[in-house]
């Protein structure tokens, strides 16, 4: 081989090695995607150097959530809609496998919350118009509300034997809106981990699950202020955990100067009063979703007992006077952007033996 040819081959090898080193040393970055699911904007941030992994993961999550939304929506054609039709007959039927695990878990969570989470009251949610993403009002008549409450549909009315299911109360209509989004986020993130994603945050309208961290810093979450569009506090995630907030500002309509929000108290049939927002941190996104709603309804007096029953240690509740209630564990995690009017640190009850055992989603 001539010297000229040798120089060309050597140069080509150097370029090839340099190129390979550049590809192998590509720096990780945050890959961002946005789409609509569960009636809200979903944001997926993945921290990785693998662009193809980020692209595949985003497509997978969107497909997962689209499927879940269609299957679990109570008022659209799909598995849950069909299940409600069959429950209304009172006859036994074979449960659809895409909704059966959710219903079983919803029964456990309803018991743990002393019925404050009661997805069997789907007729009540529809009566208020909250099955729509944009409720218009006006509020229903008290007589219509009481007619549903008198039928007393609860999750205890749903009887499951293996894959067979029936309802002993034909007034039962299942609406898992206060649970399905958390369950869906949990399952979608599990799928991401199976694909090899190690650092990501999946945010659906302010409710989220996060894993890992973007580089040497944690994911930082803003908690919306009930009083305005701004942020009242920030939370930095630690490893694998979910952060869920229920607020009276999320979905509502105005009628004659009064706000009617979508978090209905199953005991009265009306929007729960006395609370503005509840934020919960927990490893299980499905339980965090239910807990934020149930504790909102429980209010300032009863939320510690319900939180203890659910095994939720990190809670922040803001009442309609602007007073902030927190567990000691939550106080360590919250950083306020502006000082609240008053803070009350509330330990959970010690009667842990009464804590309900609720399994994480399979």
Closest among 291, 298, 248, 241 to 271, alpha carbons compared = 248
Buried b / exposed e over 134-160, threshold 16 CB at 10 Å, is ebeeebbeeeebeebeeeebbbbbbee
Q: Are 68 and 180 in contact (CB under 8 A)?
A: yes
Listing DSSP states for 251-270 in one string gives SEEEETTEEEES-B-TTTSS
Cis peptide leading into 138, omega within 30 of 0? Answer: yes
Q: Is 265 annotated as a binding residue?
A: no
How far, in Å, are 51, 120, 205, 291 from residue 244 at the CA level?
A: 29, 22, 10, 9
Q: Is 178 annotated as a binding residue?
A: yes
Q: Is 33 annotated as a binding residue?
A: no
3-class DSSP assignment, residue 9: helix
**How many Cα atoms occupy the beta-carbon half-sphere of 13 within 13 Å?**
6
- Residue numbers in the known binding site for Mg(2+) are 178, 289, 293
- Residue numbers in the known binding site are 178, 289, 293
């Amino acid at each position: 081989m001539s010297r000229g040819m040798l120089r060309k081959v050597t140069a080509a090898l150097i370029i090839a090695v340099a190129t390979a080193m550049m590809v192998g040393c590509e720096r990780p970055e945050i890959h961002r995607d946005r789409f609509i699911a569960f009636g809200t904007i979903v944001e997926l941030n993945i921290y990785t150097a693998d662009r193809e992994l980020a692209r595949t993961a985003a497509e997978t999550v969107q497909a997962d959530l689209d499927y879940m939304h269609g299957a679990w929506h109570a008022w659209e054609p799909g598995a849950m809609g069909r299940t409600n039709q069959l429950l209304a007959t009172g006859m036994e039927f074979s449960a659809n496998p895409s909704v059966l695990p959710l219903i079983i878990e919803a029964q456990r969570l309803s018991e743990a919350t002393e019925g404050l989470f009661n997805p069997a009251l789907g007729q009540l949610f529809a009566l208020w118009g909250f099955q729509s993403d944009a409720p218009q009002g006006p509020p229903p008549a008290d007589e219509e509300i009481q007619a549903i409450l008198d039928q007393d549909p609860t999750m205890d009315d749903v009887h499951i034997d293996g894959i067979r299911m029936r309802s002993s109360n034909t007034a039962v209509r299942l609406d898992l809106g206060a649970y399905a989004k958390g369950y869906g986020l949990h399952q979608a993130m599990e799928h991401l981990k199976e694909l090899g994603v190690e650092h990501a945050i999946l945010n659906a309208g302010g409710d989220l699950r996060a894993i890992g961290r973007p580089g040497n810093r944690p994911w930082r979450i803003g908690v919306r202020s009930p009083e305005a569009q701004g942020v009242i506090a920030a939370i930095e995630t630690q490893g694998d955990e979910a952060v869920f907030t229920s607020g009276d500002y999320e979905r509502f309509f105005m009628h004659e100067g009064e706000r009617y929000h979508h978090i209905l108290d199953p005991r009265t049939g009306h929007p729960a009063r006395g609370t503005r927002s509840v934020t919960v941190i927990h490893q299980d996104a499905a339980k965090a979703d239910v807990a934020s709603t149930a504790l909102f309804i429980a209010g300032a007096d009863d939320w510690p007992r319900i939180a203890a029953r659910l095994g939720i240690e990190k809670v922040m509740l803001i009442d309609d006077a602007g007073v902030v209630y927190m567990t000691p564990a939550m106080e360590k995690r919250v950083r306020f952007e502006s000082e609240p009017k008053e803070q009350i640190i509330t330990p959970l009850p010690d009667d842990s033996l009464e804590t309900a055992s609720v399994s994480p989603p399979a």
